[in-house]
Amino acid sequence: MSNIETFRYDNRIVRNFALATVIWGVVGFLVGLFIAIELFLPGVSGNLAELSYGRLRPLHTNAVIFAFVGNGIFMGVYYSTQRLCKARMFSDLLSNLHFWGWQLIIVLAAISLPLGISQSKEYAELEWPIDVLITIVWVIFAINVFGTILKRRERHIYVAIWFYIGTIVAVAMLHIVNSIEIPVSWTKSYPVFAGVQDALTQWWYGHNAVAFFLTTPYLGLMYYFLPKAANRPVYSYRLSIIHFWSLIFVYIWAGPHHLLYSSLPDWAQSVGMVFSIMLIAPSWGGMLNGLLTLRGAWDRVRQDPVLKFLVVAVTAYGMATLEGPVLSIKTVNALSHYTDWTIAHVHTGALGWNGFLTFGVLYWLIPRLYNTQLWSTKLATTHFWIGLLGIVFYVVPLYWAGIAQGLMWQQFTPEGTLQYPNFLETVVQILPMYKLRAVGGTLYLTGAVLMVINLIATVRSGSFEPETEAQAAALTPPTKDVDGPNPWRHRALERKPVLFIVLSLVAVAIGGLVEMVPMAIVKSNIPTIPSVTPYTPLELEGRDIYVNEGCYVCHSQMVRPFRAETERYGAYSKAGEFVYDHPFQWGSKRTGPDLHRVGGKYSDSWHFLHMEDPRQMSVGSIMPAYPWMLHNKLKTSGIQKKMSVLRKIGTPYTDEEIAAAPDAMMAQAEEIAARLKAQLPDRASQIDANREIVAVIAYLQRLGTDIRKSEVVEEVAAQ
Amino acid sequence: MIKNVIANIEHVTVLPIIALILFMLVFICAALWALSLKKSEASAYGRLPLEDASVNEGEHRHE
């Protein structure tokens, strides 16, 4: 061929992302271990606000998802896209902007989350300026990848790149829709959606963050690095086509399975459940395609730690994607939801699928980037076994804990009362499992440290190759001879990357539109309740503190319509009760009890002492202490701006209410302070109306009480 | 008009059916595309990760 071109693959950007993956991985695991320990030793934080569980848990999830896995994705994408397209990345400048922009986002997250700057939407906690930055950096990434595809020298776009395209398109859509928020200040915003709509948007995002950030890009990596490591092509290329299209189309519908038995309309719950069950088919198709790629090479799995990691990763993917649909069956979900079963499930995926696949790729990639051999195969094998033990010690105790606690919540005595009416009893029972989980986390982290040692030694023993020279023929315009007479064939489609991108967007957008548009426009989906009124200024401020402290990570605000729940908490939650909740606070885990009906359940002084140190009121409680709330001054200056913003997005505050807000706030605070002083005479000198705790108490005492007003009205009307 | 149609709970149940039909269409199209690939093409495409065009390709392989 006469038009052979010589070019160079950029290895620097791959090396940079690999380095970031390792560093942030260790940081993310360390934070995870720390918060795992906090769950049985709540005092380990030293009662420092910045180290409290509610603030650090979002840091852990963001660190492992966006820093560890995120950098892992980019490492793999930048390495494989260049080689599959037989082209250098579109722009070195964009590559570097992407790298440094992403690291800046991570650093901003690592600073802002411990400071309590949070939107409280799971895996989307970062505040609006960081959201904007994420959008910009993601667009840079998209241009760089799409530009590389357009200037490729290989006519066929390999299936791994389809998964990258699907990821880029879907994550952009999810992030933008879920981040529609109105800023109040640089560190505070309110989402435009409220209550049920906000919940559906959030879990459409949250579920698909798992789907399109933790799964589809990693499937792309699997389709590239597994054949590479096994030195044989993927088992069935045809199956990979079906895998791709059916997976991205089905995944996007499944979000409502996070909201089963909630106040979400039943039709949306059913759609979520059915599509979740259907997900087994494409997921297992992909898993089998991965495992069968090793046909005839299983003997090498015994010797090669890279293949060991990849095999366990793909198996963990299979386990997690079987378990996910099972958990989406409503009757199973009734038991599993809010328990540690979910935590075990996600860690099968995170530790097994994402973690082990990343480790396998790193062990394969680093020696190649540095022109050397892996320093110690034995140490890598040791990492494999310690990591595997870590996963077992992590997930098995949590399955036990989740199922045991779920059953205890539902257990009735023969007389028909709750067997364990005190929530804390069910927590104390599972503390040994939490300790075992920390052992699992320690093992997993130890394995990662061994990997760091091994990779450093590998790097030292080799010399980095910043660029790899390659040669390939330039693409010639398509001809009938090559494309065949029938254009309606996949190979024709995949030669038109722009059309491919548009079709991917259509596939992922349909699910979102069908589920979310009716929810947003149909009033009958959210029956209004006349007695539900907006929060007072003080309650609003208290709610914002609740949001910033991350209370939602341990407390739900959603009483499901089960007798076991209504007996324990009170009337089940109605959609109309959340219409002023920007953002919703339904939560997804009950490490502590549900709080939707906590209003009026305890005295103000109980809350005061409980927040100061939960163990003063509940011996054995594992809740963090919040002593700083007793000292931090209540912010009154921003309340009018907050109310004005909320009015713009539908909360009916009047001009008069907004004008009088600071005064109204302090008046209500004085009332609460007076009650506290009366209830705690020996602490009277320490009680001040102008403290955060007063606002938090105002909010907690308001929670779930509006509906009782309507009950009183109905009773009066009946008389 | 659309609002009124969807607001009626009986008609809302049509949404999951639409979803299922859409999925079946996508699935059938993807399957037809996949099956229409010639064996030689599928085999060549599947080998792409193993042919990365680098000049010293395979030099650093451990196996």
Banded model confidence at residue A717, pLDDT cuts 50, 70, 90: low
Q: Residue B27: its pLDDT value, please?
A: 82
List, for residues A113-145, the tens digit of each pLDDT value.
Answer: 999 999 999 999 999 999 999 999 999 999 999
At residue A653, does pLDDT exceed 80?
yes
Position B3 scores a pLDDT of 41
Rounded distance, CA A81 to CA A157, Å?
10
Using one digit for the tens of pLDDT, what is the confidence trace for A266-316? 877 888 888 889 889 889 999 999 999 988 888 899 999 999 999 999 999
Contact A518, A664 (CB under 8 A): no
- The end-to-end CA distance of chain B, in Å, is 66
Check residue A501 and give its pLDDT.
Answer: 81
Got the DSSP string for A532-564? Answer: --PPPHHHHHHHHHHHHTTGGGT------SSHH
Q: Got the DSSP string for A448-508?
A: HHHHHHHHHHHHHHS---SEEEEEEEPPPPP-HHHH-S---SHHHHTT-HHHHHHHHHHHH
Contacts of A468 in chain B (CB under 8 A): 54-56
Q: Is B63 in contact with A489 (Cβ distance < 8 A)?
A: no
A373 residue type, one letter: Q
Specify the DSSP class assigned to residue A5: E
Quick check: A83 and B53 CB within 8 A?
A: yes
What are the tens digits of pLDDT across the range A391-422?
999 999 999 999 999 999 999 999 999 999 99
Task: Pick the more confident residue, A369 or B41.
Answer: A369
Please name which of A215, A462, A181, A235 lies closest in space to residue A354, comparing C-alpha atoms. A215
Residues on chain A touching B30 (C-beta within 8 angstroms): 241-242, 244-246
Rounded mean pLDDT of A67-79? 98
Q: Which of residues 431-450 of A touch B (CB under 8 A)?
A: none
Find all residues with CB under 8 Å of A396, minimum gap 6, and list them.
A344, A436
Residue A228 forms contact with B (CB below 8 Å): yes
A249 contacts B33? CB cut-off 8 A: no
Q: What is the mean pLDDT of residues A415-437?
A: 96
Determine the pLDDT at residue A71. Answer: 98
With H, G, I as helix, E, B as strand and everything else as coil, classify residue A4.
Answer: strand
C-alpha–C-alpha distance, residues A588 and A664, integer Å: 33
What pLDDT, on the 0 to 100 scale, is given for residue B49? 92
**Residue B19: closest C-alpha in chain A:** A511
pLDDT of residue A718: 59
The pLDDT mean for chain A works out to 92
pLDDT band at A503 (very low <50, low <70, confident <90, very high): confident
Instruction: Inform me whether the pLDDT recorded for A219 exceeds 50.
Output: yes
Query: CB B49 to CB A153 under 8 A?
Result: no
State the pLDDT at residue A534: 95
Element (H, E) at A391: helix A377-410
Q: A490–B37: do the CB atoms touch at under 8 Å?
A: yes
Model pLDDT for residues A529-566, shown as the tens digit of each residue = 888 999 999 999 999 999 999 999 999 999 999 999 99
Assess whether pLDDT exceeds 90 at residue A634. yes
Residue in this structure with the two tokens 């955060």, named with its chain if needed: A692
Residue A88 clears pLDDT 80, i.e. is over it: yes
3-state DSSP assignment of residue A561: coil
Where b means 16+ CB within 10 Å and e means fewer, A68-105 reads: bbbbbbbbbbbbbbbbbbbbbbbeeebbebbbebbbeb
Chain B positions touching A11 (Cβ under 8 A) are: none
Task: Compute the Cα dihedral for A38, A39, A43, A46 and give only its sign.
Answer: positive
Nearest Cβ partner of A84 from B48, B54, B62? B48
Q: Between A62 and A479, where is the model more confident?
A: A62
pLDDT of B1: 34
The pLDDT of A71-94, averaged and rounded, is: 97
Evaluate if pTM is beyond 0.95. no
Residue A716 sits at the chain B interface (C-beta within 8 Å): no
Tell me which residue in A238, A267, A368 faces B16 most closely, judged by beta carbons.
A267
Size of interface A-B (CB pairs under 8 A): 141
Between chains, do A245 and B53 touch, taking CB under 8 Å as contact?
A: no
Residues of B in contact with A158 (CB under 8 A): 45, 48-49
Nearest CA in chain B to A371: B60
Tokens 């605070």 correspond to: A669
